[in-house]
Structure 1
Amino acid sequence: MEKRAKKKVLIAEDDESVRGLLVNALGGEYDLMEAVDGLDALEQMRMFEFRPDLALVDIKMPRMDGFELMEKLLRIIPALPIIFITGSGDIEYIGKAFRQGAVDYLLKPFEIQELFIRIAKAIEYRPLDLDRQFLENELAERTREFHAAQLEIIQKWAETVEYRDGYTGLHIANIAHYSAMLAKAYGLEERECYFMLQAAPLHDVGKVAIPDSVLQKPGPLDANEWELMKSHTLIGYNLLKSERLKILEVASRIAISHHERWDGRGYPYGLYKEDIPVEGRIVAITDVFDALTSKRPYKDAWRFEDAANFIIKGGGTQFDPKTIEAFVGIIPEIIKKSTIH
């Protein structure tokens, strides 16, 4: 029969008589490490690679007291059960100990039987909750890291497209912020506005498949080239469509619909009015507005007022009238916060 490994217990107690009592009582049942204060405990843990399953910690110790030791222990082992040992005159510290993460306490003097009961309870039962919380925290942290990595990839992808298209990073930033602002003014929920902020910069991602000879042609496109250019909407949709990632789902709708027109004369499908996804209607406005107000090698930047008037005149034909109403409301904010001016 395989011998079960002993649980490891850290004892941090500066009173030699109490420490000796604990060692004598627990030595046969547990693998012990004894320390005279907090610094000694941490140094020995590091030196001997000792990872305790439970810590018995006195509150009052020289160099590093029990509260500071507990804080450092929980940084190293977030699920570690800690039992505080305190004298009868230290009752006021018990509440503070529990708030810092202690699972139990012992009042000096204590009975050996009580000691074993408290330790067994802490090791066998409470760690289940602590481990679960630790795993939940780890999962949340890994989820945040994964989400941040996704956003960085999306950002780099958008930058790649804009670089090929001859734009600058300002266009990506402007489209993102204008679209989120307009989505909020339109009445979309906060979560949807966040998705617009992250997804809108990918509106032209399909241009990665358009040849440079077409994408960067200095003169007008012929009929065949124009059809090829228009295909970036379908290509972008196919690149981005996803049933698992909400940001990509939103981005795919934007990619395929931001060149549709309210009057049905847009592309690729000639969608009419509300058949156009609202995300596409929003980016249709912000994309044109930023293109007009940005300086390009072949044109000067329009004044904000002139670009806004152009957008407003397109209401009911190129653009959704309701979205334009919302756009008019955010023009002062756009002018104030613009990364261009």
Structure 2
Amino acid sequence: MSPLLPKQCILVVDDSPENIDLLSEVLRDDYRIRIATSGEKALKIVYSDEPPDLILLDIMMPGLSGLEICRRLKSNPDRRRIPIIFVTAMTSTEDEQRGLETGAVDYITKPISPPIVKARVRTHLALYDQSRELERMVRQRTHELLTTRQQIIRRLGRAAEFKDNETGNHVLRMSHYARIIALAHGLGDEAANIIFNTAPMHDIGKIGIPDAILLKPGKLDAAEWEVMHQHPIMGAEIIGKHDNELLETSRIIALTHHEKWDGSGYPQQLKGEEIPLEGRIVAIADVFDALVSVRPYKGAVPVEEALQYLYEQSGKHFDPTLIDAFRSALPEVLRIKEIYADEHGALTDLEFQINEIFHHKDDPTGYPGVLSSTEGGLD
């Protein structure tokens, strides 16, 4: 073993001091040895912050037997991969079979042969190392695939921004707002991060809206609004249905972020909790940022007026419980608004990724006097 690498740790579990001494003598030159004279002490060591790399376990012990210890460890996801070798005087084929079926990787009978003990320990440690390395590679590859999906989602979200001529940081801000609302509502970090990473796709369907409508400098007529109201469906079709959670959440958000709590939204006129939670969260984040941001067809609404509108629309446009969450998280929302203000310049993808670690309707007729241009409107 290389002197640069720490010695691997072997836990020897036996109620007989003589057996512990013998196994320790055989292995101590090559490994760090820890000992336990009972099942309870063995479990305490295994569940510590420094678990052993392999366990040599006697079967016949007072209290917890070796078989019971093995069963408990193999039922624990955090410790089940530690190889266990039974070292026992139980020599029948049935005993050996029972031990292996319980989850042990090998079975050594007493009295032990030192060369056999060394060889078996060396073999199973090598297999364990290979298994851990394979798991590490799988985790790394999974992370790479997740990162790739996230980047694709963000870039498609930006494609919709360019099409709509919106401000450069809108998608970034509203994604952070959505994450903050989700956390304030009681969702965990994982669920909130999924919403953060999929919210950029909310308006991808605008790619399918003709420029003459999307970029019209004046009010849309009824026929044009009918076309505009198709962009959630187009977005859902662009993304498609998937088993992957990121892509499926992106589709749900694209399809439902214009639904309203009272059923007056589009495209499906969903009502209340018929609207997926992700869509309800993104609706608030998107509308708030649209109100307080400058657009080619409107000026920015003061924060106080935007908040008044959101609060007045609680129970109408927006889920009241999510408005409460938004209200409770307002200091954090306003901090994000300042950090990613458009006057600071458009952020790069690298900055987007760094700041992801740092944290994490649009019918104009609902707010008279604020939107008077396309009023393609907060759409």
With the shorter chain as reference, the TM-score category is 0.5 to 0.7
SS across alignment from 1:268: coil
Work out whether 1:67 is the aligned partner of 2:3.
Answer: yes
Structure 1 stretch displaced more, 186-195 or 266-275: 186-195
**Deviation per CA, 1:109-147, whole angstroms, max 9, x where unpaired?**
xxxxx9976885467543322222221111111111111
1:226-265 aligned at under 5 Å gives the runs 226-265=225-264
Distance change in 2, residues 1:294/1:102 (3 Å) = same
SS in structure 2 at match of 1:290: helix
CA pair 190-219 structure 1, distance change in 2 beyond 3 A: same
Q: TM-score, normalised by structure 2?
A: 0.59
Alignment of 1:183-202 (within 5 A): 183-202=182-201
Aligned AA (1:176):
S
Which residue of structure 2 aligns with residue 304 of structure 1? 303
Match of 1:95 among 20, 32, 47: 32
Aligned partners of 2:173 and 2:336 also within 8 Å? no
Q: Secondary structure at the match of 2:288?
A: helix
Cα offsets for 1:219-275 (capped at 9, x unmatched):
222222211111111111122243411122222121111111122111111112222
CA drift of 1:67 comes to 2.5
Report if the CA contact (8 A) 2:53-2:125 is conserved: no
The amino acid across from 1:155 in the alignment is R
Q: Counterpart of 2:322 in 1: which secondary structure?
A: helix
Higher helix share: 1
Q: Which residue of 1 aligns with 2:319?
A: 320
Q: What is residue 75 of structure 1 aligned with on the other side? A: none
- Secondary structure, in 3 states, of the residue corresponding to 1:150? helix
Mapped partners of 2:53, 2:289: distance in 1? 56
User: Aligned to 1:67, what secondary structure does the other structure show?
Assistant: coil
Per-residue CA deviation, residues 14-68 of structure 1 (Å, 9 max, x unaligned), is: xxxxxxxxxxxxxxxxxxxxxxxxxxxxxxxxxxxxxxxxxxx4xxxxxxxx423
Distance (whole Å) between structure 2 residues aligned to residue 232 and residue 220 of structure 1:
17
Q: In 2, Cα distance between the equivalents of 1:181 and 1:206? A: 25
Q: What is the letter of the counterpart of residue 128 of structure 1?
A: L
Identity %: 37
Give the letter aligned to residue 233 of structure 1: P
**Residue in 2 that maps onto 1:177:** 176
Partner of 1:160: 159
Count how many residue pairs are aligned between Structure 1 and Structure 2: 250
Query: Post-superposition shift, 1:304?
Result: 1.6
Corresponding residue of 1:218: 217
Identify unmatched segments of 5+ residues in structure 1. 1-56, 58-65, 72-87, 104-113
Q: Give the counterpart letter for 2:169 in structure 1.
A: L
1:207 Cα shift?
Answer: 1.0
Unaligned 5+ runs, structure 2? 7-24, 34-49, 55-112, 342-379
Partners in 1 of 2:31 and 2:257 — Cα distance?
A: 62
What is the TM-score of this pair, normalised by structure 1? 0.65
Measured in 2, the distance between the counterparts of 1:94 and 1:270 equals: 67
Partner of 1:74: none
Aligned twin of 1:276 = 275
| Match in the other structure for 2:328 | 329
**Aligned ranges for residues 131-170 of structure 1 at < 5 Å?**
131-170=130-169
Asked if structure 1 preserves the Cα contact closer than 8 Å seen for 2:293 and 2:301, the reply is: yes
Aligned CA RMSD, in angstroms, stands at 3.1
